[in-house]
Structure 1
Amino acid sequence: MRIYRFYAWLRMNLLDYFYAAAVEAHETGVPMMRALPLAFPGDATVADCDDEYLLGPDLLVAPVHTGTLSRTVRFPAGRWTDFWTGEVITGPCQREADAPLDRIPLYLRAGALLLVHLNGALRWGASMTGNRIGTVVATSPADGEFKLNLDDALDRRYLLIYGTTVSAVMVNGRDLPRLRDAEIAACPPGWYEDGCRTIVRLPAGRARAVAIAGAVSRG
């Protein structure tokens, strides 16, 4: 039941992302679950891959169909961030991934921008009953500066950055402070590290333009 509850809530965390993928499927015919040869035509690493898929535009899923606790994952060209650990992997390549019973190998594409809801502690797969916080999840692009336009996410209070060791955050042209431990509970605008991710609490109002300075994490 514990694992079922986690993934049931994870689905609810990602519901806005799934909805956007469903709208795209309706408008373009591109399916929500995309075979890798369809999503990455011409990429020899995944040309015959039939046991992984792209879920929407930004999530690479590698299900486990046997009783093993690991599996080989084939990564298309580009940069991929492990959803669970924050490790950054550069494809095309193959890697052995841990796959305990409670963890499906899952990866964020470079340049991903996901609109999600999380609980008050900003944890995945946890109950959001009575406490749903609008959040944006982002990874740095494969090329160019790490800049985000949040015109379509003005109701979101937090930004979670994966795959980047952050050194500075600027919102609407102004630097946000890096928060000390004693300041985090008070929830002022600012940013801080939390395990494999950086949490940015956006200022109230229209936090449209966000720029992140930092380096790609290497696991």
Structure 2
Amino acid sequence: MIDEFAQRDTALHPPAYTPGYKTSVLRSPRNALISIRHTLSEVTAPVFSAAELGPLDNDLILNFAQDGGLPIGERLVVHGTVRDQFGAPVRNALVEVWQANAGGRYRHKNDRYIAPIDPHFGGCGRMLTDADGHYVFRTIKPGPYPWRNRINDWRPSHIHFSISGDGWAQRLITQMYFEGDPLIATCPILKTVPSEQQVRGLIALQDVGNFIALDSRCYRFDIVLRGRRKTWFENELTA
């Protein structure tokens, strides 16, 4: 028997309907969500192998570089742990990341921002967590960019994360922001987050002790996923 995951606390999530974040208006549900018990579809997930990943998949500085060139921008190392809400490390989780380049432009056909495409930067990577739930990757710090929410709204610098853990109920898609960015306070998307404490949980902190001398700054970003409820057996309840 596979244990179910702990119940989601919906009060921790932004409301689906948030008019200040305009594109949420047409795609948000209006009716109450339906709660169902977990089935195998929720408590299981694909198992990933290191053999499926390339040697540079977690190095966004080199994995798209052409003919010996390197991407433009501030070099960073980002690392952290993936744990569940009970503190247990989530081993062998697939962590996928994608982002804009140093000028704030994505390598995507629908991105029409005037910043140039960097021919040496693809903007995506992936990695697996180790036995302690730890992950690490190298990248270029993404630039902020304007977006058509209101006439002069700008997104703070951020990196998108997709995490696939032990079950589909642990699936998480989120964004990481950078300590000290003044655009965080005015971002309409972040204003939908219910509390200041939760906003702080989305902000990576400088990890000065892990700076690489004359090379890269480092940021730490820890991620928490839902945990499995423990199945208690009678013989475990002895004094």
**TM-score bucket of the superposed structures, by smaller chain:** under 0.3
TM-score, with structure 2 as normaliser: 0.26
Higher relative contact order (CA 8 A, sep 6+): 2
The structure that is strand-richer by fraction is 1
Larger radius of gyration: 2
